[in-house]
Amino acid sequence: MVPRSRLQQQVLSLYRELLRAGREKPGFAGRIREEFRRHAAIPPRDALRIEFLLRRGRRQLQQLRAAHTKRLGAFGRPGSAPEQP
């Protein structure tokens, strides 16, 4: 098995932490999986984008751990239709 890079380890760690935090709140686990699958096609060499998504994921993890959080928001591209709840 090929050893994972530090960036890969950080992504996997964040994924596990988000899933653990999402277990306590209904509907979050599926959204977390979908978000990670959507970004799985990012080339490993695109470190800048991956690091940006890691920072965003860490902020979302902090929000998810907050007791008052009831749902996650989503960011879309300008001009795109908002997601249906």
Question: Which pLDDT tens digit goes with each residue over 58-71?
Answer: 999 998 888 787 66
Q: Tell me the whole-structure pTM to 2 decimals.
A: 0.75
Both structure tokens of 45? 């060499």
Kindly report, residue by residue over 1-57, the tens digit of the pLDDT.
778 889 899 999 999 999 999 888 888 888 899 999 999 999 989 999 999 999 999
Cβ atoms within 10 Å of 51's Cβ, excluding its own? 13
Structural contact between residues 18 and 61, judged by C-beta atoms closer than 8 angstroms: yes
Confidence band, pLDDT 50/70/90 cuts, at residue 85: very low
Does pLDDT of 79 surpass 80?
A: no
